[in-house]
Amino acid sequence: MEKFEHKYGAEQIQVLEGLEAVRKRPGMYIGSTSVRGLHHCVYEIVDNGVDEALAGYCTEINVIIEPNNVISVEDNGRGIPVEIHPKTKISTAETVYTVLHAGGKFGGDSGYKVSGGLHGVGASVVNALSSWTEVTIRRDGHLYQMKFEKGKTVQKLEEIGEATGTGTKVRFLADDTIFESLDYEYEVLEKRFREIAFLTKGLKITIEDQREEPFKKAEFCFEGGLVSFVEYLNKNKEKLHKSPIYVEKDGEVPVEIAIQYTTSYSENIYTFVNNINTIEGGTHLEGFKRSLTKVFNDYARSHNILKDKDQNLQGEDIREGITAVVSVKVKEPQFEGQTKTKLGNSEVAGIVQSMVNESLATFLEENPTVAKAILEKCISAARAREAARKARELVRKKNSLETSTLPGKLADCSSKNPEECEVYIVEGDSAGGSAKQGRDRKFQAILPLWGKMLNVEKARADKIYGNDKLNPVILAVGAGIGSDFDVTKIRYGKVIIMADADVDGAHIRTLLLTFFFRYMRPLIENGNVYLAQPPLYKLSKKGMEDRYCYTDEDLEKAYKELEEKGIARDQLGLQRYKGLGEMNPEQLWETTMNPETRILIKVTMEDAIKADEIFTLLMGDEVEPRRDFIQANAKYVKNLDI
Ligand code: 0R9
């Protein structure tokens, strides 16, 4: 058997120190040690396979969550090079797995134009954070293998047999002394792999979850790439034109864009840099938006659709109802912003802009029916914007005449420091009453809502200003809406939706979330929106402190724990809460409002695509997919009255 040379020199000692540093401060390398960081590890390994696909050598990546949470990722690329690396004097494969950042550095003429990967830290970090890692390589007819424990080599790369074909297989068990849990979320991984498959035309990615029978599995391969992505995003929406518009340009910064307009009022533009979702946007998005505005205005003017020479469609008019995916590949991306998901490279704006200027203008000239359909919608959006402006002025005037601009029903808190203040938006007057009495009035404000809420999915901005249900929310939050929304002006750091744990509660929660999602998106992006979680049950017994349970599992756990203390089930009184109104102020404070004991769920934008999908499905025009969804989820949602 061939065995690769091993010499521990200064380089190798540095290597071990490098990986020790990763284990000491894992968060610095993978963001966090929560389940999110755990998923990042899988993405890092998969991204190496994707890089090989982008270089044109790999067509398939298979991911398995094995029983006991071992992750297996296999690609059919060239296989990681096995020869001794001149600098480290050990095999290149071992170098990649033991030297921090080695993947990029040593892969100099690998044929990779750009590299994916969330933090670009690669295989060595995953290796350092795993109890064990096993890498098997098929190359030149040989089968090679190496093994590591906590980043340290325990079996150097050696030939263990013969092989047909080429490829790399990596299996690892994340270290449970580093990660909070090893419970991979199949749905999260599945969603990311679907996204990667959309972004990498023709690459087949499979995932199988073998932890529980029946095994869950999925296979993604999209010959249409971004076009398929946009079709997927729009699958429940009514389209303005049949096929997505697709433009691309190869070059120093390859750009690919797919666009399709729908009859909806929302704007959904997803941007990616090297396959990473740039949630905060950046220069590529700026370039795209600028060009879109220019091209449509130029077309409208030159075809006499805009008659008045001075009349201009604004960017927001042109983006109403748009679904677009913008994907760029940048050699040395600079990521900025709070979550490092905003592209900073200034040159990219111009590149995207001139590429879209050219190709979109040509497309519109060649497809006048599509151009007309889109522009008709843009013009009606411009009219609605004007109507909204008038409505807003009216509301502003009316409010400035009143002594206070705060809604009458709002019981405000005494502190004026947004960082410590919270507003509870409470369904129903009786729950509102309990909340008002039970709260800590120093920092907790209560805004009761009642009656039927406006479905913003089916209304334009002009209907929202002055709406008697939404206006109090807008005034209380205090930061405007839509393009006027200014997150620095919010009056409360936490906007908490407190609704019953029943179908009506779910209804009002969805309506409010749709509203925030569409009209105050930065509030969600900034992490200011929360859901209160009231208890579902109360267990009581004379002489015992009441015990509140928030889920059915919680209740079972409580029964078991109490049984161990010698308290049988039939000795306990069980109250099932149907609504917040059934709790007195003290109970509401203790279970749902006291920062020491309450459970708050932060609403995140991470799942914007999913949220948009569900909002559209549940709130939009298309009846059929909604019926399918409700039927599929009937066991969870008994009476969804939307
Ligand atoms: C299962 C996950 N896949 C990988 O981790 C993986 C890495 C990798 C790779 C190359 C091919 N396939 C891969 N799969 C590769 C091969 C060659 C050149 N560059 C890259 C070649 O055959 O010449 N590598 C990623 C980094 C490196 N290889 C390198 F640094 F070792 F070169």
Instruction: Give strand pairing partners of 239.
Output: 262
Q: What is the pLDDT of residue 105?
A: 41
Q: How far apart are CA 297 and CA 482, in angstroms?
A: 22
Does residue 5 surpass a pLDDT of 80? no
Mean of per-residue pLDDT scores for the chain = 87
Question: What value does the mean pLDDT take over residues 163-177?
Answer: 97
Cα gap 269→279, rounded to integer Å: 10
Domain boundaries along the sequence of the chain: 20-220, 226-385, 408-534+602-636
Contact 218, 193 (CB under 8 A): yes
pTM of structure: 0.76
Share of the chain above pLDDT 90, in %: 64
Strand arrangement, sheet containing 342-343: 281-282, 342-343, 335-336
pLDDT of 16 > 60? The answer is no
Instruction: Please say if the pLDDT value at position 402 is more than 50.
Output: no
Q: Which atom of ligand 1 lies nearest, measured to the CA of 46? A: 2
CA angle 179, 183, 186 (to 5 degrees): 130
With a 6 A CB cut-off, is 45 part of the ligand 1 pocket? yes
Task: Please tell me if the CB atom of residue 48 comes closer than 6 angstroms to any atom of ligand 1.
Answer: yes
Helices (H), 448-551: 461-464, 470-477, 503-519, 521-525
Q: Which residues are catalytic?
A: 427, 500, 502, 504
Give me ligand 1 centre to Cα 83, in Å.
Answer: 12
In this prediction, residues 270-292 reach a mean pLDDT of 95
3-class secondary structure, 63: strand
Site of tokens 């004097």: 89
Containing 400, the helix (H) or strand (E) segment is: helix 368-401
Burial (CB count <10 Å: 0-12, 13-18, 19+), residue 298: middle
DSSP 157-200: EEEEEE-SS-EEEEEEEE-TTTSS-----HHHHHHHHHHHHHHS
What per-residue confidence (pLDDT) applies to 607? 52
Position 151 scores a pLDDT of: 95
Residue 413 has pLDDT above 90, yes or no: yes
What number does CATH give the domain 226-385?
A: 3.30.230.10
Given a cut of 90, whether residue 439 has pLDDT beyond it is yes
* Torsion from C-alpha of 229, 230, 234, 239, nearest 10 degrees: -150
Q: Which CATH number fits domain 20-220: 3.20.20.80, 1.20.1430.10, 3.40.50.1970, 3.30.565.10?
A: 3.30.565.10
607-624 per-position pLDDT tens digit: 555 666 676 776 666 667
The single residue listed with the structure tokens 């890089």 is 51
The pLDDT of residue 100 is 84
Q: Is the pLDDT of residue 355 over 50?
A: yes
44 CA to centre of own chain: 17
SS3 178: coil
By the 8 A CB rule, do 168 and 62 touch? no
Cβ–ligand 1 distance for 75 under 6 Å, the answer: yes
Q: Which of 52, 99, 172 to mutate to test the pocket of ligand 1 (most atoms within 8 A of CB)?
A: 52
- How many secondary structure helices (H) and strands (E) does the chain include? 21, 24
CB distance 73 to ligand 1 below 6 Å: yes
Q: Say which range, 159-168, 246-255, 313-322, 478-487, has the weakest mean pLDDT.
A: 478-487
Binding site membership of 581 for ligand 1 (Cβ less than 6 Å): no
C-alpha distance across the termini of the chain, in Å: 68
Q: Which of 255, 232, 298, 248 is nearest to 114 (CA)?
A: 255
Ligand 1 mean position, distance from CA 63 (Å)? 17
Q: Summarize pLDDT for 184-218 with one digit per residue, the tens.
A: 999 999 999 999 999 999 999 999 999 999 999 99
Q: Is the dihedral of CA 594, 597, 599, 603 positive or negative?
A: positive
**Closest ligand 1 atom number to CA of residue 106:** 30
Give the length of the chain: 642
Q: Per-residue DSSP letters for 284-344? A: HHHHHHHHHHHHHHHHHHHTTSS-STT----HHHHTTTEEEEEEE--SS--EESTTS-EE-
Please list, in sequence order, all residues whose beta carbon lies within 8 angstroms of the beta carbon of residue 290, skipping any fewer than 6 positions away: 349, 353
Containing 221, the helix (H) or strand (E) segment is: none
Q: Is 116 in the pocket of ligand 1 (CB under 6 A)?
A: no
Q: What is the DSSP letter of 590?
A: I
What is the rounded distance in angstroms from the CA atom of residue 57 to the CA atom of residue 76? 8
Q: Which CATH class is domain 408-534+602-636?
A: alpha beta
Query: Looking at ligand 1, which atom is closest to the CA of residue 61?
Result: 1
Q: Give burial (CB, 10 Å; 0-12/13-18/19+) of 107.
A: buried
Q: How far is the CA of 78 from the centre of ligand 1 (A)?
A: 7
Residue 612 is predicted with a pLDDT of 66
Read off the pLDDT of residues 510-532 as tens digits, 9 standing for 90 and up: 888 888 888 898 999 889 999 99
